[in-house]
């Protein structure tokens, strides 16, 4: 009989109640979703139809803990749909997403439930709630209002239709980007065309070719392959071809996202105009630190004014340099990384191929774990008994200073066709406290780092080292959480605040004290030479103006898409070109358009929020400045950072939390100083 039990509908009787991945089959998901939705609906009805008067405990708090089975199946399914997907899973996602949207709409449209929530909210001043209770009440009330609970008749029904349609469109957008990325490969059999590419890059290309049953070398659009090709390949025509394919993903007939973009932004606009907001950005930013689109645009323009002069200087310098070594053309977009890498090497005698041997993945991982131990007293223990969804995943138990269990930590490092590009942190279980028990989280980071080859372990580029630190910062935010309610714990914070813990960790990549500890040659065990450390630090601001302008351009196009106040008339390409015009350093390329592959804002959670990376940079530079003043491992400052920021999740307004840590509001000065822009 036990063979027929759906593992997704049982309480996980595993180590720390982790997901039993190896027992879950495709046929288990849909029945689990349907049963999970059914049970969650019953729980909602119990709360909505409770004959007792509405109270914080029997309404607001009760809502926090409904749908345990649904949360269980959803976390497993959607995390795997990003990290280890297949055609069946993607088809099922398209089938399931509308059901979940419908269920979500049923909750916020339940008039009896809404009346109870409103009753509690209207009496909040008499309830003597603590800070976290007040926050969860405010958040729950606003989520209902912002989902249409206060609307009448046709408007309420239209909100339901829009939500369902958007869930399908955003899913399709992401699937198209993944498919477009995986659909291309550059297969080279003539060794002459490989000029300039380092041995490590070539060896990885050979491994990719073998995996595809081909001879020679294969390069793909996945970052560990695409980026070094653009940096080192002498063959300009191949660089141009690679760039044009990469920058035109989903901008052509195959996996086309142009119409999907138009539909997404128009539906988002229609939705918020039902609430009498002029545009989607205004609606979103009410629940962000930045508060208004005007503040965001002013912020981005302030940074653009500070960085564009330096970016132009860098551009001219690179043009002159390229000409000095034989370029008889104006630099194009596919030339930037190539000549920038050469100039950086000439200026600082440092490049990724010089530093890679010192950044073996296993050593970097241990160095980052040790950093967490030094700052926060936590330790990591590999546990091969905990089930995992792919053989390449490492699973750790995380313990606090006193040896108390803190979290499960999954680490998934290398690219594969079943995994989306980029890097991210996620959770399989949130932290929360219920009936006096602290339920600890299950946290995961998913990356696309350089693979090991037949002769070399995984050797990271410096950019991959900073990416690791970044995602690990998010993971710490999740693992160290000490909140009562799951919807406030860990990284459940304002979008323009969530990048603070992650970007804060990146600072250590440029600190000699940390580099000295973590970087050892993978063959000899030799510590990274002091002069190479100095070169890494000195080169930290290389082309910082250009990098600033590039990030600002992404923020501006995001704000443009979500500030429209009527449906789009012009083409996606024309709209993007206008929005990014102030940041352009290169002539426009008709075949390229970034928006159709901009998953952050059209398939992720960053719509009207991409500026948050730069916003959080102001926070992280200001926060790290406090460490620099007292020592980058200072226990007093680290304890304050942990207790006031990392443990608190979204339990209080982020500016209140930040000022409690820093003693003042953040200043833009440390960021400009760190970036060499003042």
The span from the CA of 111 to the CA of 149, in Å, is: 7
Q: Which pair of tokens denotes residue 371? A: 């950093």
- Between helices 87-108 and 26-48, what is the axis angle to 10°? 0
Q: Which pair of tokens denotes residue 337? A: 């990384």
Q: Which residues of 477-487 are buried (b: 16+ CB within 10 A; e: fewer)?
A: bbbbbbbbbbb
Q: Which residues of 368-377 are buried (b: 16+ CB within 10 A; e: fewer)?
A: bbebbeebbe
Residue 300 DSSP SS3? helix
The span from the CA of 660 to the CA of 641, in Å, is: 9
The span from the CA of 606 to the CA of 613, in Å, is: 10
Which residues have a Cβ under 8 Å from the Cβ of 141 and sit 6 or more positions away? Answer: 117, 118, 121
Distance of CA 485 to the CA centre of its chain: 23
Tokens 């000295």 correspond to: 516
Half-sphere exposure of 162 (CA within 13 A, CB side): 20
Q: Report the sign of the C-alpha dihedral through residues 15, 18, 19, 22, in that order.
A: negative
The span from the CA of 392 to the CA of 155, in Å, is: 48
91 with 175: CB under 8 angstroms? no
- Which one-letter DSSP state was computed for residue 288? S
Q: Which residues of 598-634 are buried (b: 16+ CB within 10 A; e: fewer)?
A: bbebbbbebbbbbbbbbbbbbbbbbbbbbbbeeebeb
Q: Report the sign of the C-alpha dihedral through residues 325, 330, 338, 537, in that order.
A: positive
149 with 109: CB under 8 angstroms? yes
Report the residue count for the chain: 678
Q: Which pair of tokens denotes residue 675? A: 């970036």
Nearest to 184, CA basis, from 213, 225, 216: 225
Q: Which pair of tokens denotes residue 80? A: 């795997």
Q: What angle do CA 296, 298, 299 make, to 5 degrees?
A: 65
Q: Which pair of tokens denotes residue 636? A: 């007093």
Q: Which pair of tokens denotes residue 229? A: 């090709």
- Other CB atoms within 10 Å distance of the CB of residue 211: 12
Q: Tell me the DSSP string of 579-646.
A: HHGGG--S---TT--SGGG-HHHHTSS-TTTTTHHHHHHHHHHHHHHHHHHH-TT-HHHHHHHIIIII
504 with 623: CB under 8 angstroms? yes
Q: Which residues of 225-236 are buried (b: 16+ CB within 10 A; e: fewer)?
A: bbbbbbbbbebe
- 471 included as an active-site residue: yes
Q: Which pair of tokens denotes residue 349? A: 């005698």
Catalytic residue among 471, 499, 511, 647: 471
631 with 586: CB under 8 angstroms? no
- Pairing mode of beta strands 437-439, 394-399: unpaired
349 — alpha (psi -120 to 50), left (phi > 0) or beta? left
Q: Which residues are catalytic?
A: 471
């Amino acid at each position: 009989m036990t063979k027929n039990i759906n593992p997704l509908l049982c309480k996980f009787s595993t180590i720390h109640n982790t997901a039993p991945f190896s027992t879950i089959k495709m046929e288990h998901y849909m029945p689990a979703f349907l049963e999970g939705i059914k049970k969650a609906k019953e729980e909602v009805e119990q709360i909505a139809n409770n004959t007792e008067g509405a109270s914080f405990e029997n309404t607001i708090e009760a809502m926090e803990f409904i749908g345990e089975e649904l949360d269980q199946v959803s976390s497993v399914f959607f995390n795997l749909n990003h990290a280890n997907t297949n055609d069946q899973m993607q088809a099922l996602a398209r089938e399931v997403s509308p059901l979940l949207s419908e269920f979500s709409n049923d909750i916020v449209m339940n008039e009896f439930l809404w009346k109870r929530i409103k009753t509690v909210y209207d009496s909040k001043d008499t309830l003597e709630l603590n800070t976290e209770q007040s926050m969860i009440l405010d958040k729950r009330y606003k989520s209902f209002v912002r989902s249409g609970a206060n609307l009448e008749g046709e408007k309420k029904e239209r909100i339901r239709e829009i939500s369902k349609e958007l869930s399908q469109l955003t899913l399709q957008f992401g699937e198209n980007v993944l498919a477009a990325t995986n659909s291309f490969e550059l297969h080279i059999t003539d060794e002459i065309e490989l000029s300039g590419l380092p041995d490590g890059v070539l060896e990885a290309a050979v491994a990719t070719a073998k995996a595809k049953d081909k001879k020679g070398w294969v390069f793909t659009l996945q970052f560990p392959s695409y980026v070094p090709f653009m940096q080192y390949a002498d063959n300009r025509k191949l660089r141009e071809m690679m760039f044009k394919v990469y920058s035109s993903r989903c901008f052509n007939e195959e996996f086309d996202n142009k119409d999907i973009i138009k539909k997404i932004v128009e539906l988002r606009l229609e939705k918020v105009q039902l609430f009498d907001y002029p545009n989607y950005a205004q609606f979103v930013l009410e629940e962000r630190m930045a508060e208004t689109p005007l503040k965001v645009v002013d912020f981005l323009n302030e940074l653009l004014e500070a960085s564009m002069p330096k970016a132009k200087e860098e551009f001219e310098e690179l043009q002159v340099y390229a000409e000095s070594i034989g370029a008889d053309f104006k630099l194009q977009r596919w030339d930037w990384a190539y000549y920038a890498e050469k100039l950086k090497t000439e200026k600082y005698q440092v490049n990724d191929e010089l530093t890679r041997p010192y950044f073996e993945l296993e050593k970097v991982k241990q160095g980052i774990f040790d950093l967490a131990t030094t700052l926060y007293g936590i330790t990591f223990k590999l546990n091969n008994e905990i089930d995992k969804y792919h053989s390449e995943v490492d699973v750790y138990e995380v313990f606090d200073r006193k040896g108390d269990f803190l979290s499960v930590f999954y680490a998934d490092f290398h690219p594969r066709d079943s995994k989306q590009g980029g890097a991210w942190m996620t959770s399989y279980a949130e932290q929360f406290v219920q009936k006096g028990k602290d339920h600890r989280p299950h946290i995961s980071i998913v990356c696309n780092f350089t693979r090991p080859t037949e002769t070399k372990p995984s050797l990271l580029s410096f950019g991959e080292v900073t990416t690791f630190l970044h995602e690990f910062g998010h993971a710490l935010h999740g693992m160290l959480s000490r909140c009562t309610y799951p919807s406030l714990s860990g990284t459940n914070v304002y979008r323009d605040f969530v990048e603070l813990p992650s970007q804060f960790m990146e600072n250590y990549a440029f600190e000699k004290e940390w580099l000295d500890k973590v970087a050892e040659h993978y063959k000899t065990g030799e510590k990274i030479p002091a002069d190479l450390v100095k070169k890494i630090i000195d080169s930290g601001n290389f082309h910082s103006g250009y990098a600033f302008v590039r990030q600002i351009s992404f923020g501006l196009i995001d704000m443009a898409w979500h500030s429209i106040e009527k449906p789009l008339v012009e083409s996606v390409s024309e709209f993007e070109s206008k929005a990014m015009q102030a940041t352009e350093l290169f002539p426009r390329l008709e075949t390229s358009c970034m928006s159709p592959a901009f998953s952050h804002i059209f398939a992720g959670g960053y719509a009207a929020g991409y500026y948050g990376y730069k916003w959080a940079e102001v926070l992280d530079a200001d926060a790290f400045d406090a460490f620099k003043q007292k020592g980058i491992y200072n226990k007093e400052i680290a304890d304050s950072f942990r207790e006031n920021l990392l443990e608190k999740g979204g339990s209080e307004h982020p500016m209140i939390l930040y000022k409690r840590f820093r003693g003042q509001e953040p200043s833009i000065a440390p960021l400009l100083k760190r970036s060499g822009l003042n």
